[in-house]
């Protein structure tokens, strides 16, 4: 079968690995002779993948570097083509979507094994493309706000001021929608109001700011950051003294220690600083699916590419000119 994999070594034979030797995009290769995976234990489903997505910085994910070739891709929509004899929740022919665990990837391929807790039935009102654009981004947003930050709804525990950086991005778009839906005051931050303001207001943002305007903001209770680097460093100044800062940017896993060493977080010890890795979770996907089916949460596709063009698509995910939504890979 056809799959897009990461070559495990550089052309000179040096193994790729995290963090010292992250593979460049040129290490993404299309192979036509990858063995079709087979179900080997209870809990596995064999999926004929119809669509997957591209994540900026995917090659920075340390879970990607097992000893052998990695097949990238975590989001999937597709058809169940085989189940274990003991399977009770899914059957052959089911239309499903979801996200595989970060350390397995596997969905930039014609067939993929996914675990039952990684899949839910796809709502009929979503195409394969629209469905694939949702799981990983929506799960990351849902878990960031409600599991890690511990945000409750405004009705439960009062309205909070919640700022999202990279608000127009793949995950930022879901963060804004979830926080608005939970009744909070949402400040949507991005690098360009000209590019993002009307879109961000259309998905419910109450305030729209550029990063360079942080100094003018009233302080916020929560910041969820999807951008990292200088934007993340500047977020400390926007938070109330007892606020919460969370980043999931792929390059920011060590930010708390780095900012402490550089003095960026000095005097901000009351701020709870968090980093997270999203996990597949069927109950989150079920909740997300309910919202999607009702139309209260929307995923977006910025462009669709064929699997053979996925390396170029990965490179284009690192440009700001794509518009809003996910790059979807059609398999």
Instruction: Using the minimum distance from each CB to ligand NAP, give the nearer residue, 158 or 254.
Output: 254
- Cβ 262 to ligand NAP shortest distance, Å: 20
Tell me how far CA of residue 2 lies from CA of 25, 78, 99, in angstroms. Answer: 18, 15, 20
Q: Is residue 230 a contact point for ligand NAP (CB under 6 A)?
A: no
- Cβ 85 to ligand NAP shortest distance, Å: 33
Tell me how far CA of residue 214 lies from CA of 227, 244, 325, in angstroms. Answer: 15, 16, 25
Spatial strand order in the sheet of 3-6:
28-31, 3-6, 70-71
Structure tokens at 96: 């499903």
- Cβ 184 to ligand NAP shortest distance, Å: 19
User: Which residues 158-217 are close enough to bind ligand NAP by CB under 6 A?
Assistant: 166, 168-172, 190-191
Which position among 34, 57, 146, 287 is part of the footprint of ligand NAP (CB under 6 A)? 57
Which position among 4, 59, 187, 227 is part of the footprint of ligand NAP (CB under 6 A)? 227
Enumerate the H helices of 92-210 as residue ranges: 128-132, 135-142, 154-157, 172-181, 193-202
Instruction: Using the minimum distance from each CB to ligand NAP, give the nearer residue, 1 or 274.
Output: 274
- Cβ 166 to ligand NAP shortest distance, Å: 3
The answer to whether residues 310 and 107 touch, using CB atoms and an 8 Å cutoff, is: no
The answer to whether residues 318 and 251 touch, using CB atoms and an 8 Å cutoff, is: no
User: Which residues 284-303 are close enough to bind ligand NAP by CB under 6 A?
Assistant: none
Q: Total number of residues binding ligand NAP (CB under 6 A)?
A: 27
Instruction: Using the minimum distance from each CB to ligand NAP, give the nearer residue, 3 or 227.
Output: 227
* Residues 130-149, mask of contacts with ligand NAP (x by CB under 6 A): ------xx--x---------
Query: What CA–CA distance (Å, rounded) separates 300 from 173?
Result: 9
Q: Is residue 320 a contact point for ligand NAP (CB under 6 A)?
A: yes
3-class secondary-structure state, position 140:
helix
Of 10, 321, 20, 6, the closest CA to residue 168 belongs to 321
**Residues in contact with ligand NAP by the rule CB under 6 A:** 55-58, 136-137, 140, 166, 168-172, 190-191, 226-227, 248-250, 276-278, 317-320
């Amino acid at each position: 079968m056809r799959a897009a994999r990461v070559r495990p070594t550089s052309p000179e034979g040096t193994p790729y690995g995290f963090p010292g030797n992250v593979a460049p995009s040129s290490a993404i290769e299309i192979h036509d002779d990858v063995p079709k995976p087979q179900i080997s234990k209870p809990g596995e489903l064999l999926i004929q993948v119809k669509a997957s997505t591209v994540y900026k910085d995917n090659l920075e994910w340390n879970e990607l570097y097992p000893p052998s070739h990695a097949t990238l891709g975590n989001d999937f929509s597709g058809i169940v083509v085989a189940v274990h004899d003991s399977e009770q929740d899914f059957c052959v022919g089911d239309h499903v979507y979801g996200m595989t665990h970060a350390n397995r990837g596997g969905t930039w391929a014609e067939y993929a094994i996914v675990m039952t807790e990684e899949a839910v039935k796809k709502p009929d009102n979503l195409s394969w493309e629209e469905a694939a654009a949702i799981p990983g981004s929506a799960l990351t947003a849902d878990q960031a706000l409600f599991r890690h930050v511990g945000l409750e709804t405004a009705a439960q525990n009062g309205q909070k001021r919640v700022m999202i950086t990279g608000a127009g991005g793949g995950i930022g778009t879901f963060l804004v929608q979830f926080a608005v839906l939970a009744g909070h005051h949402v400040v949507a931050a991005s690098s360009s109001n000209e590019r993002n303001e009307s879109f961000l207001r259309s998905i419910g943002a109450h305030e729209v700011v550029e990063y360079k305007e942080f100094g003018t903001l009233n302080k916020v209770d929560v910041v969820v950051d999807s951008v990292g680097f200088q934007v993340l460093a500047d977020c400390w100044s926007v938070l109330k003294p007892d606020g919460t800062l969370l980043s999931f940017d792929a390059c920011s896993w060590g930010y708390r220690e780095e900012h402490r060493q550089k003095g960026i977080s000095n005097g901000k010890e009351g701020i709870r600083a968090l980093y997270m890795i999203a996990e597949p979770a069927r109950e989150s996907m079920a909740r997300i699916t309910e919202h999607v089916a009702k139309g209260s949460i929307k995923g977006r596709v910025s462009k669709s590419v064929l699997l053979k063009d996925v390396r170029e698509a990965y490179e284009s995910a690192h440009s700001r000119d794509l518009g809003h939504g996910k790059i979807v890979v059609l398999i």
